[in-house]
């Protein structure tokens, strides 16, 4: 501690273990990796003892250098502080750890993910799971470095290397509940956008689901509000809804975060949910239960999706790429509410 530890004492290496156990370093390797060659039980025990005694821990860098792969797995999300992506990250971390993989978390808050994929691939990650839509350059980088880039929970599904919730079906179920169970005729859509000014954005499957469900019921699709994918966006949507769409009696929010803000904003504007306006949403995040009006929401099976995404990174072709949602019925739709309401 006196000098600025100029050169840290070397870690205990596989050779130290071999020496103490009285075997060759190869045998230590076979024991540590359970292969690729068999080891006699007695020898194995000696090695294990030596490892224990020395507190030996394999150097992941050396291993990666030779194998060309690591036990690292990249995860790119727009922003982990968003509860949906937080839930996604937690599910992926659990799924990764179940496969003895470590998660490297990267946020794409600003700009493209190509530099992130580049960095990650420099770490020889087994693959990258992205919840941010990769721009063409990012895809090119992944291809060039031969790193599987698995899209997870993106609104515009691809056929290859992607896992997504059934946005379309979930949205239809959430809208159908409003129409069939509660009899609403004017159902607005409140959806997010990443490019507020862009007009040629591909249509989100949740929007498609909302539209088709209304059309099939013979209802109009004139009420559509686009805001940020956040509770603040939902708050803004509430203001818009009361001012520009006064006749609306129900709304489908494309995410719980939006719904949380929407429901709070509606309440503040004197249009309580579900009394004045019924709301359903999409995600099934834990916080939905504690919204100003507990949210009825299409629940996404993140744990299963995460396992599928990790498996896909590891080279397993998943049985299914689209995961059905389950409508969690609470109160924001008008169900089970006592007192003044339109149930």
Partner DNA sequence: GTGAAAGCGCTAACAC
Partner DNA sequence: GTGTTAGCGCTTTCAC
Residues lying near a copy of itself in the complex (CB under 8 A): 8, 11, 55, 57-62, 64-65, 68, 70, 72, 75, 79-83, 86-87, 89-91, 93-94, 97, 102-107, 109, 118-124, 144-146, 231, 235, 260-261, 264, 286-287, 289-292, 294
* Min dist. Cβ of residue 185 to a copy of itself (A): 28
* Min dist. Cβ of residue 131 to a copy of itself (A): 13
Q: Which is nearer to a copy of itself, 121 or 172 (CB)?
A: 121
* Min dist. Cβ of residue 48 to DNA (A): 12
Q: Which is nearer to a copy of itself, 25 or 119 (CB)?
A: 119
* Min dist. Cβ of residue 277 to a copy of itself (A): 16
* Min dist. Cβ of residue 125 to DNA (A): 15
Q: Which is nearer to DNA, 23 or 187 (CB)?
A: 23
Tokens of 77: 């999300």
Count Cβ atoms below 10 Å from residue 206 Cβ, excluding itself: 27
Count Cβ atoms below 10 Å from residue 207 Cβ, excluding itself: 22
* Min dist. Cβ of residue 4 to DNA (A): 15
CB-based contacts of 7, cutoff 8 Å, min separation 6: none
173 makes contact, choosing from DNA, a copy of itself, none, with CB < 5 to 8 Å by partner type, with: none
CA-angle at 76, arms to 228 and 107, nearest 5°: 65
Tokens of 295: 């949210």
286 makes contact, choosing from a copy of itself, DNA, none, with CB < 5 to 8 Å by partner type, with: a copy of itself
139 makes contact, choosing from a copy of itself, DNA, none, with CB < 5 to 8 Å by partner type, with: none
CA distances from 85 to 135, 184, 200, 343 (A): 19, 31, 26, 33
Q: Which residues bind DNA (CB under 7 A)?
A: 10-11, 13-15, 22-27, 29-30, 32-33, 36-40, 42-43, 56, 58-59, 62-63, 65-68
Q: Which is nearer to a copy of itself, 86 or 219 (CB)?
A: 86
39 makes contact, choosing from a copy of itself, DNA, none, with CB < 5 to 8 Å by partner type, with: DNA
49 makes contact, choosing from a copy of itself, DNA, none, with CB < 5 to 8 Å by partner type, with: none
How far, in Å, CA of 253 to CA of 21, rounded? 64
Q: Which is nearer to a copy of itself, 287 or 341 (CB)?
A: 287
* Min dist. Cβ of residue 70 to DNA (A): 11
* Min dist. Cβ of residue 60 to DNA (A): 8
25 makes contact, choosing from DNA, a copy of itself, none, with CB < 5 to 8 Å by partner type, with: DNA
């Amino acid at each position: 501690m006196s000098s600025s530890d100029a050169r840290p004492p070397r870690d205990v290496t596989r050779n130290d273990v071999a020496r103490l156990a009285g075997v060759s370093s190869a045998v230590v390797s076979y024991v540590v990796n359970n292969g690729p060659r068999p080891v006699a039980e007695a020898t194995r025990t000696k090695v294990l003892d030596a490892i224990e005694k020395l507190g030996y821990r394999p150097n992941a860098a050396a291993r990666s250098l030779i194998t060309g792969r690591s036990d690292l797995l990249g995860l790119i999300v727009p922003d982990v502080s968003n509860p949906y992506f937080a839930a996604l990250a937690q599910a992926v971390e659990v799924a990764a750890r179940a496969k003895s993989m470590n998660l490297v978390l990267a946020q794409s808050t600003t700009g493209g993910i190509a530099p992130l994929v580049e960095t990650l691939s420099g770490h020889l990650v087994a693959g990258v799971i992205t919840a941010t839509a990769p721009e063409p350059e990012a895809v090119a980088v992944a291809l060039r470095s031969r790193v599987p880039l698995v899209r997870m929970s993106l609104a515009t599904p691809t056929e290859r290397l992607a896992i997504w919730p059934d946005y379309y079906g979930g949205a239809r179920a959430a809208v159908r509940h409003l129409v069939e169970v509660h009899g609403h005729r004017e159902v607005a859509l409140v959806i997010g956008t990443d490019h507020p000014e862009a007009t040629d954005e591909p249509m989100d499957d949740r929007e498609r689901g909302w539209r088709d469900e209304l059309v099939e019921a013979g209802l109009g699709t004139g009420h559509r509000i686009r805001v940020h994918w956040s509770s603040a966006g939902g708050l803004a949507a509430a203001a818009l809804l009361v001012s520009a769409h006064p006749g609306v009696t129900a709304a489908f929010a494309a995410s719980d975060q939006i719904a949380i803000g929407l429901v709070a904003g509606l309440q503040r504007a004197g249009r309580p949910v579900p009394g004045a306006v019924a709301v359903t949403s999409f995600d099934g995040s834990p916080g939905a239960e504690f919204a100003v009006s507990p949210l009825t929401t299409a629940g996404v099976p993140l744990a299963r999706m995460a396992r599928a995404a990790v498996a896909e990174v590891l080279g397993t072709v998943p049985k299914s790429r689209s995961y059905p949602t389950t409508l969690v019925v609470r109160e924001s739709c008008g169900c089970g509410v006592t007192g003044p309401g339109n149930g």
